[in-house]
Amino acid sequence: MGDEWHPNPGDAVQVERLVQRVAHQAIAAYEQSHPRDDAKELDIPAQWKWVGGLITALVSAGLIGVCFWVVTTLSGLQQNVTRMSALLEAQGSGSFSEIKADQDRQDERIDRLEAYHRQGGAR
């Protein structure tokens, strides 16, 4: 039991410092072999920034206008449908049967006309 090894906290600190030093040296060596090219950074002129901002503002205003137009159009459509519904209700339930009877009369006339032409028409 006297042969057991107990780690010393001082050894851990020394190992940590050694690893940090090696890591910093490795990073420095990498940065030397791969230099940064700051010239690659693109500097956009102020005029282009203003033009971009202006175009963005115009597109935003256009989208707001389109949204306003859609809302007003749908609101008007809803009002028209409400008026039509009220008008049909005021006419009573007989209006549907009148429309159906008119459609039946038209179908009957079309059938007679088609039969007339099938038989040869006016000779």
pLDDT (0 to 100) of residue 10: 73
pLDDT (0 to 100) of residue 39: 53
What is the helix, strand, coil percentage profile of the chain, to 5? Answer: 80, 0, 20
Q: Could you say which residues of the chain have pLDDT below 50? A: 1
Q: The tokens 């042969």 sit on which residue? A: 3
Instruction: Please enumerate, as own/partner, the contacts of 94-99 that have beta carbons within 8 Å and a separation of 24 or more.
Output: none
**Measured distance CA(103)–CA(107) in Å, rounded:** 6
pLDDT (0 to 100) of residue 8: 73
pLDDT (0 to 100) of residue 6: 65
DSSP structural state of residue 120: T
**Measured distance CA(83)–CA(13) in Å, rounded:** 86
Q: What are phi and psi of 95, to 5 degrees?
A: -65, -35
